Structure 1
Amino acid sequence: MEKNTEPSWYALYTKSRAEKKVYEELKMLGIETYLPLKREQRQWSDRKKWVEVPVISSYIFIKIKPQQYRDVFNARGVVAYVSHKGQAVAIPEREIEAMRRTVENKLAFSVESDTLKKGEKVTITSGPLKGIEGEVEEIQGKKKLYLRISHIGYMLVLNLDEVERNG
């Protein structure tokens, strides 16, 4: 946990399939919470149904001040903070915003793979994701760009229109 008094974003591990319950309990505790969801069609033996499921299973994101650090454990289903060497790791606001905008907009983009290289820093220059920064983790074909969300071991897979190099 950082030593400042400003709120920061953190990722929490939850018990399996407890993300929505944890989300509701944290909100009731007055904690700013983000649970990215996607719609999926599920098949049961007798029917199909559209359901909202977490984009990343067993993760929920919270924005808290240092004095709220222990409060999150009052929500049933919280397992632990995503941490490094025993310290909760803050997630940059821009990465939460990138995830939020990616999930909410469900946009299709394109990119020319020969202009980008693995490890290169990029900024999206048009569309609803304008201003989002990331690092090229992998390029697959001409349409997919993988942007790493630091500290949680996941990447956003984006199809991009225009990418401008930082630099």
Structure 2
Amino acid sequence: MPEIEEEGWYVAKTYRQERKIKELLTRMGVKHFVPFHETVKEIGGKRKKVEVPFISGLIFVHGRKKECISLINDYGYPMRYVRDFSSRSLLRVPGKQMEDFIYLVEQHENEIEILPHDLRRGDRVRVVAGSFAGIEGELVRIAGHRRVVVRLDNLFTIATVYIPGSYLEKICD
């Protein structure tokens, strides 16, 4: 007797096509979660409200593994599934964790800050927004997701200020 595969939440990278994939999944009736939020950006010298992905480049697809993979293989969706580091199988988020995450994002969006996932201690960073925009330095620590400490080159002291992680970008040499 064949094993019945359990449904779950799979994490996929979208190559910055979250909105397009969200529309395709909706049309196909596939359960998914692609959170967006409204932010103010300067476009052409004017400040405008725009809707952007809450977590850039990621979507969550619910279904059986085979069905989820067919979205790429059979339908050509421009995405790839994230793999679990230890097992190398597709990363699957437990149902309760996903329910809690959806609740937090939908009900408490303004209280959540998603830090750039690629920032690590020792990275060279640049502040890209806020009153410290343009400042560059070394990321020393991220303490409690509330304070980013940056060591500036050639200085003996470390200045610490509140800089939201979303205001930082990694400098690639």
Structure 1 and Structure 2 fold alike (TM over 0.5): yes
Structure 2 Cα separation of the partners of residues 140 and 67 of structure 1: 37
Structure 1 Cα separation of the partners of residues 145 and 10 of structure 2: 29
Deviation at 1:5, TM superposition (A): 2.4
Structure 1 Cα separation of the partners of residues 26 and 45 of structure 2: 35
Per the alignment, residue 104 of structure 1 pairs with 106
Native 8 Å contact 2:8 2:92 kept in 1: yes
Determine helix, strand or coil for the equivalent of 1:62: strand
Cα distance change, pair 77–66 in 1 and its aligned pair in 2 (3 A): closer
Structure 2 Cα separation of the partners of residues 49 and 38 of structure 1: 13
Choose the corresponding residue for 2:97, options 88, 95, 101.
Answer: 95
Structure 2 Cα separation of the partners of residues 49 and 77 of structure 1: 28
* Greater length-normalized contact order (CA 8 Å, ≥ 6 residues apart): 1
Per the alignment, residue 42 of structure 1 pairs with 41
Cα distance change, pair 43–96 in 1 and its aligned pair in 2 (3 A): same
**Equivalent residue runs for 1:117-156 within 5 Å:** 139=144
Letter in 1 for 2:43: W
More strand per residue: 1 or 2? 1
My pick for the range that moved more, 82-91 or 18-27, is 82-91
Deviation at 1:9, TM superposition (A): 0.3
Structure 2 Cα separation of the partners of residues 33 and 27 of structure 1: 8
Moved over 6 A (4+): none
Per the alignment, residue 55 of structure 1 pairs with 54
Max radius of gyration: which structure? 2
TM-score when normalising by structure 2 = 0.55
Identity, % of aligned positions: 23
Runs of at least 5 residues in structure 2 that lack an aligned partner in the other structure: 112-142, 147-173
Structure 1 Cα separation of the partners of residues 89 and 57 of structure 2: 19
Deviation at 1:139, TM superposition (A): 3.9
Cα distance change, pair 29–86 in 1 and its aligned pair in 2 (3 A): farther
Per the alignment, residue 132 of structure 2 pairs with none
Structure 2 Cα separation of the partners of residues 75 and 50 of structure 1: 32
Determine helix, strand or coil for the equivalent of 2:29: coil
Letter in 2 for 1:5: E
Cα distance change, pair 77–13 in 1 and its aligned pair in 2 (3 A): same
Letter in 1 for 2:69: R
TM-score when normalising by structure 1 = 0.57
Structure 1 Cα separation of the partners of residues 145 and 8 of structure 2: 33
Deviation at 1:4, TM superposition (A): 4.5
